[in-house]
Amino acid sequence: MSKKTVTITNNWTGKQVDLPLVEGSQGPYGIDVRPLYSELGLLAYDPGFFSTASCSSQITYIDGEEGVLQYRGYPVEQLAEQSNFLETAYLLMYGELPTLTQLSAFRTQICHHTMINESLKNFFHGFHYDAHPMAVMVGVVGSLSAFYHDSLDIRDPEHREVSAHRMIAKMPTIAAASYKHTIGEPFVYPRNDLDYCGNFLNMMFSTPCEPYPMDPLKEKALNLLFILHMDHEQNASSATVRLAGSSQANPFACIAAGIASLWGPAHGGANEAVLEMLEQIGTPERVPEFIRRAKDKEDPFRLMGFGHRVYKNYDPRARLIRKTCHEVLAQVAPDAYNPIFELALKLEELARSDDYFIERNLYPNVDFYSGIIYRALGIPNNMFTVMFAIARTVGWVSHWMEMMGDPGQRIGRPRQVYTGATERVYCPIERR
């Protein structure tokens, strides 16, 4: 059967080109536009990549119309309810759910990379106590590229794998240290007898004076949040890691680039912005005023935690997180946080009944409810995006490994449509 193609005709010159289709296992096919420039002298133009596939990938599938999210084919709802961080991290990295033996070996690998070089502590002390933890994360994670000279050959699959293990293992340690630095408490070392989420909570909240009482509900809630934040196909930060990695840059430097991109309030920084917005709104009576502002094109205010480039239906992660909010708040801190949660529910109800949001398919996204749970776990607002970064590191390293393992991998180098000045002659300053 002949290959599926799409014919593009340049009506201006009459030239035509048949472009082959790139067929996926599910979801939209792609048009391979690589011959476009050589055949028609034209570029595909798509600022913001609304209709552009930058690669093919087998890691995560999203159906934005149906509100579907699958990691390696497994619905995220099933993983969130039945799996845990390390098992799902293994699935994203290696493509299959691990056997008991594989999971045990993976856990041992990760556990034995959780410590950071003692000299790294000096980096934290170079920041003022009021530095935003995401600024600290960008700096300290980037500085890991100055270490590990034993595994810097990124053409070596084993070096790539150990770099991925090190990144997943060290993110919680660096994140907790970023927090401890802002509150002037001593860093807490990782413990290999605790699981990934329990170990992180212990590094965040225990002190030399007293141990942190482990709470299975909090660990369960954190496992769910980390699983739901782990990957999301070619989102801005994962696309950043891929582009940085395409030049064969140091993997830790690429992850630092991903952290920088995630920090923006249009992306992962939205979870912190949602809590600031809810605190600014304050009471359900003021919700209509803020919905009016979100609709006003003259007002830069947007409803943080609402809308999504791909989801034009409910973000499945937001639905699961909202459900977990009920469970966590009911047991962990009903008095302190219910008002904020009630306000979020009211905001969602009024926004979702407003034509502006309905017509634009604006639903709560992953960031709308997550901060409420983080707060109930005792995590401060300025650490919410750091939490996102810990989880998304699994997606970032999985995409980096998938890209670097592709023998056809090339440097990413987008073109542009130039609209600036045409050639002109230099004019000496005395004649300007």
- Which active-site residues does the annotation give? 308, 367
> Which string of DSSP letters, residue by residue, matches 316-360?
HHHHHHHHHHHHHHHHH-HHHHHHHHHHHHHHHHHHTTSHHHHHT
List, as one string, the DSSP characters of 226-284.
HHHHS--SS-HHHHHHHHHHTTT--HHHHHHHHHHHHTSTTTTTHHHHHHHHHHHH-SG
Please tell me whether residue 322 binds ligand SDX under the rule CB under 6 A: no
Q: Which residue is nearest to ligand SDX (CB)?
A: 307
Q: Which stretch binds ligand SDX (CB under 6 A): 79-87, 211-219, 319-327, 361-369?
A: 361-369
Determine the interface stretch with ligand SDX among 2-10, 127-135, 307-315, 333-341 (rule: CB under 6 A). 307-315
Give least dist CB 399 to ligand SDX, A.
Answer: 12
Contacts of 316 (CB under 8 A, 6+ apart): 67, 68, 69, 76, 77
Strands (E), 10-85: 16-22, 30-31, 60-63, 68-71, 74-75
Q: What angle do CA 114, 119, 121 make, to 5 degrees?
A: 75
Q: Locate 215 and state its tokens.
A: 């709470």
Q: Does 385 bind ligand SDX (CB under 6 A)?
A: no
Please identify, using beta-carbon distances, which residue of 188 and 402 lies nearer to ligand SDX: 402
Question: Residue 63 or residue 161: which is nearer to ligand SDX going by CB?
Answer: 63
Contact between 235 and ligand SDX by CB under 6 A: the answer reads yes
Angle (nearest 5°) at CA 81 between 370 and 368? 15
Cβ nearer to ligand SDX, comparing 245 with 268: 268
Based on its alpha-carbon atoms, the radius of gyration of the chain, rounded to whole angstroms, reads 24
Between 190 and 316, whose beta carbon lies closer to ligand SDX?
316
Among 140, 277, 303, 377, binds ligand SDX (CB under 6 A): 303
Closer to ligand SDX at the Cβ: 142 or 305? 305
Q: Distance between alpha carbon 375 and the CA centroid of its chain, in Å?
A: 19
Interface with ligand SDX includes 308 (CB under 6 A)? Answer: yes
Residue span 261-300 as binding mask against ligand SDX, x where in contact by CB under 6 A, dash where not? -----xxx-x-----------------------x------
Stretch that binds ligand SDX, among 70-78, 99-107, 304-312, 407-415 (CB under 6 A): 304-312
367 touching ligand SDX, by CB under 6 A: yes
By CB under 6 A, tell whether 170 contacts ligand SDX: no
Q: Give whichever of 48 and 216 is closer to ligand SDX, judged by the CB atom.
A: 48
CB of 349 to ligand SDX, least distance (A): 16
User: What is d(CA 347, CA 290) in angstroms, rounded to the nearest whole number?
Assistant: 9
Does 93 bind ligand SDX (CB under 6 A)? Our answer is: no
CA 385 distance to own-chain centroid: 9
Q: Does 304 contact ligand SDX by CB under 6 A?
A: yes
Extract long-range pairs of 93-102: CB within 8 Å, 24+ residues apart: 93/164, 93/394, 93/397, 93/398, 93/401, 95/58, 96/72
* Residue closer to ligand SDX, measured from CB, 181 or 317: 317
365 binds ligand SDX (CB under 6 A): yes
Q: Is 309 in the site for ligand SDX (CB under 6 A)?
A: yes
Alpha carbons 206 and 225: distance in angstroms, whole number:
21
- Kindly indicate which of the ranges 125-133, 169-177, 282-290, 360-368 contains the residues binding ligand SDX, using the contact rule CB under 6 A: 360-368
Q: Find out whether 123 and 139 touch, Cβ atoms under 8 Å.
A: yes
Q: Which is nearer to ligand SDX, 93 or 177 (CB)?
A: 93
Q: Given the rule CB under 6 A, which of 30-38, 70-78, 180-188, 359-367 is the region that contacts ligand SDX? A: 359-367
DSSP for 178-236?
HHHHHHTPPP----TTS-HHHHHHHHHH-BTTB-----HHHHHHHHHHHHHHS--SS-H
Give the nearest distance from C-beta 159 to ligand SDX in angstroms. 27
Question: Is residue 316 a contact residue for ligand SDX (CB under 6 A)?
Answer: no
Q: Is 232 in the site for ligand SDX (CB under 6 A)?
A: yes
Binding-site ranges for ligand SDX (CB under 6 A):
232, 235, 266-268, 270, 294, 302-310, 360, 362, 365-367
